[in-house]
Every structure is written in structure tokens, then in C-alpha cells.
Amino acid sequence: MAPRGRSGPLGGRPSATTRGHLSDIAVDLFIENGFDETSVDDIAAAAGIARRTLFRYYPSKNSLAWGEFDDHLAGLRGLLDEAAGTGTLGTELRDAIIAFNRVPESEREHHRRRMHLLLTVPALQAHSMLMYADWRQVIAEHVARHFGVEASDHAPQTIAWMALGVALAAYDQWLQQPDADLEALLRDGGDLLINAVGGSARFLT
């Protein structure tokens, strides 16, 4: 469920890179000055662009904190598609969650700051729920294909909520314990998910 940005100058870059860089600028300002205290005009000025140009990339201040999340969701869907049939449903979900949330060492501290914002700033919570819903839907669709049911059915939706819980619990621990290994936390939570999903066939009968 982890959103990420991309660093790099704005001029002459593909739109995805531009969007990521704008998000990075916004996160830095949110951390430095506070989310509520930072305006869209502040972010546009720091990026050296007009306010209307910023809105071509992001529809709201809240969405800036999530960066290129739609692109990352497409990546998660690709990970699950590649994993289909290669293991148990539980191992496919665990490994995809770990890969989706893997962050290069050079970006780790900025990623920690972004996740702290998303998980602790009240003004971001409503928007975050929308992002979580999109993330869960990708998981639910994979589970539904595995069982040959609809993504809206109870079992895929329940497993999707469980998978989100694994990710959120890992991030909660990681933010509280800076020396903790995020990937290890995700793997431990994913192993619990494997055990839970292992008995899910009974849930469908």
C-alpha cells in the first residue's frame, strides 16, 4: 500500500517523473510546515510552476501526499498476475505485498516521512481510505480469480481487508521502531496471512 514519489528536476521529464517530484516537494513542505499550514500555492511556488499547472497533475492537496499511487497499483496488479499459479494463494499475496512495499535504501527515510504523514495526519485519513479501497480491490480481484468467484463476494473482500491489515500493522511497527526491518515485518505478517488464507476454502462452501 506504499505510495512513492520520484526525485528529479521538473523540466523535460515524463509526466510520471514530474508527478513524483511534485509529490516529493509537497511531502517535504508538509513535514517542515505542517499539512494544514501548507497551501497548494506554497507547493506550486516551491516547484516553480503555476497553481493551475499543479492541478493538471494532482486534483487536490490530499492526493499529493500519495504520489503516483495509481501507477504503483498497476505494478501490484502485475506482480499478482505474474504470481498466479506459482504458489499457494497465501504465498502469492505475501510475496506481492513484500515486493510492492520494497523501497531502495536511498529513499527509505523519505518514505518513512511520507508514511508518517499518511498514517497520522487527521486531514489525510478520509482520502487515505479511498486509496486503501483501491488497493484492497486489486487484492480482492486476485483472490476472486483464484477461487472463481466475484471480487465483491465476502471471501475476497475479507482476505483483502486482512492483507491491508498486514501492511498497515507492519508500517505502524516500523514507524514506532526506526531500527526495525520493514520487509521482515511484512514477511512475518504475511506468514500469518498464509495461515489464515489456508483455511479460506471452507469459507466459500
Structure confidence at residue 34 as a pLDDT band (50, 70, 90)? very high
Task: Name the one residue in this structure whose C-alpha cell is 504523514.
Answer: 117
Nearest CA to 167 out of 71, 69, 97 is that of: 97
Three-state DSSP string of 41-66 = HHHHHHHCCCHHHHHHHCCCHHHHCC
The conformational region for residue 169 under phi > 0 = left, psi -120 to 50 = alpha, else beta, is: alpha
Quote the cell numbers at residue 22: 511534485
Structure confidence at residue 203 as a pLDDT band (50, 70, 90)? low
- Predicted pLDDT of residue 133: 96
- Predicted pLDDT of residue 200: 62
What per-residue string of b and e applies to 68-96 under the rule 16 or more CB within 10 Å gives b? bbeebbeebbebbeebeeeeebbbbbbbb
- Predicted pLDDT of residue 8: 38
Quote the cell numbers at residue 126: 478520509
- Predicted pLDDT of residue 88: 94
Structure confidence at residue 7 as a pLDDT band (50, 70, 90)? very low
Q: For residues 151 and 138, give the distance between their C-alpha atoms in angstroms, rounded to a whole number.
A: 9
Provide the mean pLDDT of the chain: 89
Structure confidence at residue 204 as a pLDDT band (50, 70, 90)? low
Structure confidence at residue 29 as a pLDDT band (50, 70, 90)? very high
Please tell me which residue, 93 or 16, carries the higher pLDDT value.
Answer: 93
Alpha helices in 34-152, H assignment, sequence order: 40-47, 51-57, 61-64, 69-83, 89-100, 108-120, 122-147
On the question of pLDDT at 11 being above 70, the answer is no
For residues 111-130, average pLDDT: 92
On the question of pLDDT at 86 being above 50, the answer is yes
On whether the CB atoms of residues 22 and 152 are closer than 8 A, the answer is no
Q: For residues 73 and 151, give the distance between their C-alpha atoms in angstroms, rounded to a whole number.
A: 16
Structure confidence at residue 4 as a pLDDT band (50, 70, 90)? low
For residues 159-185, average pLDDT: 95
